[in-house]
Each structure stands twice: as C-alpha cells, then as structure tokens.
Chains A and B, each alone.
Chain A
Amino acid sequence: MTPGRRLSVGVLAGVWLLAAAPRLAHPHGPGASRPAVPGRQALSSSPNLGVIRPAPDFTLVDFKGRSVRLSEFQGRVVLLAFIYTSCPGACPLLTQRMALLQARLREARLLPSRVGLLSVTVDPERDSAETLARYAKGFGADSEGWRFLRESQERLRPVLTAYDEWTKPIPGGEIDHPARLYLIDPRGRIREIYSLSLFDERQAYLDIQALLRESR
C-alpha cells in the first residue's frame, strides 16, 4: 500500500471511529466534576496538575524544513504527541481529537500565541516530510499552531528516550510504542500525561486553561 493510500485510509478510519465513539458532553462552567452518564466522560475544570518533571528539550524539524526547539515555546502551553501516520487506528483518532482541540483553541484565540500543539512521528523512515505534510493537511492543522515534526532515526532516538518512548516494529508494518501525550506548562514542565486510549480533548482544553490561569 502506498503512503498516500495508507494515509487516506487512516484518516477515514479516524473520522469514522470518532463518529462511532460515544457522543461526548460539552464542558460546563467552573465547578466540580460532572456526574457521567453512559457514553459521556466526566470532566474537571479544577484539575490538580502536579509537576511531574522538566520536559526534556529537543530540536526537531517540521515538514517545511524549519527547526523547532521545544524551549522556544517557553511562555506557552504545549501539548506533545508521539504518532506515526501509517498507524491504522488510534493515531488518526488521536490526531482527530487534537484537531477538535485545535478548533477550541482557535475559537478562544489561544493558538498559536499561548498554546502550541506538536505531533512527533516515531517512524521518520516512512514518514517523510511530504507524508507528514499530507497528514497534517488532512486534519486541517494550523501551520503555525500545530507543527508536525520529524528527524533522522539517529537524531530522533535520544528525544524518544528522554520521553520514555520506545518503538518496536511488529509484523505487518505497525509499530508498538507507548501511547502517551505530554502537557507542558509555560515554564517547560510536564504537568499531565494522557493515555492515548483515554484522551479526551475537552479535558485537555480544561487542563490547558488551568495552566494558563496559573501563569497569569
């Protein structure tokens, strides 16, 4: 299967899955978590986001060839995801959820001035700059607010290690890897880690707001 074909199948799968996933409630105003009803997740607008550890700095390259250094985002909240574009299901679903988050952040005029989204491929050999560009375009990524990053395997490896990410090829071309997203505060500290399988962009939005309130 060609990369382009894989991409379109993946995007379609993500969109389909999102449509098939339980409908999610919209967050309400400030206050305690809402009781969940079947198919909805409870949210918290006052999350207790402890300092987990400093976010290791890195320099990677976006699909336009521009260097992107994490420490340049100091003063902004960053959501960092590790993906690969030929991932058949969860990565497109996650990316679709990040697209929904992007829409919320744009609406609130927080992107890119106060929040940055970063998606790093763990599969740079197959995810060329062109492939990443198509993938980003497929999800309507804002070219300034949501950067898709890659590097050579050699230069990427220490970045993955620093984030406790590892990759393991498995038969069929898929890649086993820890499915996590990192929320980084304006001072460059990891404040929340999400599981890809339980990532809820509405809660991530509330977490981002909480970190922005802190930095006022």
Chain B
Amino acid sequence: MMICGCLFAGLLTAGAALAEPCLSPYVKRLAGPEKYLYVSAVDADAKDNDFLAVIDVNPASATYGRALTTVDLGSAGNEPHHMGFTDDRTKIWMGTLLSRRLFIIDVAADPATPKIVKTIDDITALTGLHGPHTYYALPGRMLLTFLSSADGNPPGGMAEFTNDGQLIRVFKNPAGAPYAYDAAVKPQINRLITSSFTPLRNYSKPLSQWDMKDGGNTLLVWDFKERKLLQTLVTDPVPLEVRWSLKPGKAYGWTNSALGDSLWFFSRGKNGRFSTRKAADLGKGCLPADLRQSPDDRYLYVSCFMKSEIQVWDVSKPDRPRLHDIVVPGVSPNMMHVSGDGKRMYITNSLLSTMDYAQNFWVRLTHIGPDGRLKMDPFFNVDFTKFPTGPARAHDMLLN
C-alpha cells in the first residue's frame, strides 16, 4: 500500500515489501496478501461476450478458489489479452488484440465487483496504432505498447494516456525495428526497454499459417525521460517479456525468445552501452511464452507453452542462469503471476485463440518453497470451461 509509512520503507528497500514482481515500479503495493485474482477471459468460440473473471484467492474465504463474478465486456470477438493497474491501483486497463476496444475498469470501490467505467471503442482511431499489449503505469498516466499500425502491419509503437483515458502522445517504432511487444522502465537508470513480437496481419491467422519470419528479434533501449531511442539490440527471434533486475540501480535484466527457445541477458557495460547475450537454452520446442521473477531477484520462471512445463532458473549469477526446477501444471501453461511475498504463482493456459491447442482452460496455483522449488496445489483448479456462456480462454492475471 502506498501509504506514507510503506513508502518510507520502500525507499530504502526498493520494493521488497509485498511488491508483486513484474508490475511497474510506479504501481501502489498491496497492503497484505491478495484476496482477488482478476483474469482476462476470451469466449472460447468468440460467439458470446468476453469478460473479466474475479476469482476468490483468500484462503480464509468459504468461496476460495472459485469464480465470484464476471464482468461482461458487452461484446464478443475482442480477444481481451493483457491488463495493467494504474499507479494508484484503483483501475485496471484491459485491451484487446482482435477488436479496437479498450476497457477501463474500477477495482477500488468494490474489489470483488469491478465495474467498467470507460470503454474506448476505437483505440486505433485515437492513436493510429492497433493491438495494445502492455499496460505500464507511470505516475498519473499509462504507457501502452501496440503490436501494429492501424492497418495491422508494422510498425507498432507506444502511446501514453492519462489515467482516465485521454491520449497524451504517440511514438511509433523506427523503420529499422518496427515490431513491438513489451515495455519496462528502470527509473533509477532512466532507461526504457521495449521488445518485439509480430503484427495483426500475422497473429490474427491460425498458427499453422503464420509467417515465422514476420516478427522482431530486437530490444530497443530508450532514454526514458527523453523518450529517445538510443540503441537497437539483437536477440533470437521474438523476444517477449522485458524483466529488469529488481535490485535498485542494477542495469541488467532478461528476456525470453519465443522462437529461439532461449533466455537472453541484457546489461549495460562500463561505456554506458547495452549489449545482449544468450544466457540459457530452454530446450527445443519450449516456446517460452511468459517470463516472471521472484521478488528476491534470485529465480526466473519460464512457461514453456508447447512443452507444457514451467522451468525455474536460478539467476544468482545473472548472466549464467542454472536450471533449478521444473513442474508440469497441465497442458500449455502460459501466463504466470507471482504474489507479492513470492510464495504463490497463479498460472493460466491460453496464449492466443489462434495459437491455443489445449482443450480445456483453467487457472491453477503453484506454491513456491523457500528453496525456490514449485509444488502444484492439487486443490486449486478454477475450471474455465463451465461458465454460463461456455468455455473461456484464461489469459492475463492481476491480484488485488
């Protein structure tokens, strides 16, 4: 919680207390253990309306592990995907990859019953960009990445908005590195890094029809205060998540190359310039779809979407990760979300409707031991096939 007292501690410990890893450092922290898990849900056959599901994750509750309610998005075929909190944690921004709608949802008035407070019907008309992906809180604002231009082709880009959805400005990707995906800021060193996926013209087709060369292999390093591109770094194809080290001031981090089945390390050298190096081979056929961190910066969690496993990598030596553990949570694990205390990780198993191969969708839970090893919870299994509207694809998650 961003009460003054907690900030006081946070300034010295830089986010050690109940900070959920992988959220923007500008997002207010939770005051205690999570009670609600919000899940973006895509109607599986795209005939019924998409929704946000609210799952009870308070172990003391009689309805623990069950869906409490759903927030109807009012339309079908949107492919709601990622979400992000505003800096004060009062609202969730949730965008869509196949429509042009974007939803701003209040979670402060009643965290158990979120309410849509604003729908931007045509985010593309507003920005000239399509497919908002990452929702990254800045103080009083949201920074969004977009996978494509308005016509579904590269370049993608970024746009900034006020917390209530007024556009501030737009930055398109450069011609030499037109693909976009994730974004993450390291305020202490004034650097923003963005990564690269593939545009609408590709991801809207069934996976078997994808052009595997129509994607990025770059990380872009920006001067954050100047919003100025400084460097283009190369990795294996399709580097997705950007994860800075959680240690204050450390100028290094990691990304997962989805098509290279590899983990990459980026770091700044003594000359102030960044470089990349392949840090680990994740095994052929992994397709690492998500990358998460432990709050102590010791472990990385990689979801192998195609190999149906989650790998734990010990990054005590940041540029030389060591495989530490593997669990199999079910078919096609994708998004992961680690609790602020680092003891629990929630998992979903839908990536994109055009890529999914699982028959059933779910949210599951793995407990993270003090030794960094994962143990699946056999009793926590939220079945996403039995909603009144039928099966739904569970994708991104946020805790409250």
Contact = CB atoms under 8 A, between A and B. Distances in A.
B2 A197 contact: yes
Interface string B195-211: 00000000000000000
Interface stretch (A39-47, A63-71, A110-118, A146-154): A39-47
Contact of A36 (B11, B138, B251): B251
Interface in A160-203: 164, 166, 170, 174-176, 178-180, 182, 193-198, 203
Nearest to B249: A38
A39 B249 contact: yes
Given A33-B225, A42-B189, A48-B227, A194 B139 contact: yes
A40 B249 CA distance: 8
A35 B225 CA distance: 13
B188 A41 contact: yes
Contact of B10 (A52, A193, A197): A197
B4 to A, nearest CB: 4
Interface of A is mostly: loop
B190 A87 contact: no
B234 to A, nearest CB: 22
Interface stretch (B117-125, B156-164, B172-180, B315-323): B156-164
Contacts of B141: 52, 193
Nearest to B247: A38
What class of interface size applies to chain A in its complex with B?
A: 35 or more
B1 A176 contact: yes
Given A46-B226, A178-B88, A179-B4, A93 B249 contact: no
Nearest to B223: A33
B2 A166 contact: no
A173 B225 CA distance: 36
A47 to B, nearest CB: 5
A21 interface: yes
Given A53-B166, A193-B140, A174 B223 contact: no
Contact of A35 (B28, B88, B226, B272): B272
A175 to B, nearest CB: 7
A198 B249 contact: no
Contact of A174 (B5, B88, B139, B140): B5
A138 B189 CA distance: 32
B139 A44 contact: no
A75 interface: no
B387 to A, nearest CB: 33
Nearest to A40: B249
Interface string B26-44: 1010000000000000000
Contacts of A50: 160, 168-169
Nearest 3 pairs between A and B by C-beta? A89-B8, A44-B225, A193-B140
Interface of A: 13, 17, 20-22, 32-33, 35-44, 46-48, 50-53, 87-91, 93, 164, 166, 170, 174-176, 178-180, 182, 193-198, 203
Interface of B: 1-5, 7-12, 25-26, 28, 87-88, 90, 138-141, 160, 162-164, 166, 168-169, 187-191, 223, 225-228, 249, 251, 268, 272
25 contacts: A17-B11, A32-B223, A33-B190, A33-B226, A37-B249, A41-B187, A42-B188, A46-B226, A52-B162, A52-B168, A53-B166, A89-B5, A89-B7, A90-B4, A91-B4, A164-B164, A174-B3, A174-B5, A175-B4, A178-B87, A178-B88, A194-B139, A197-B2, A197-B10, A203-B225
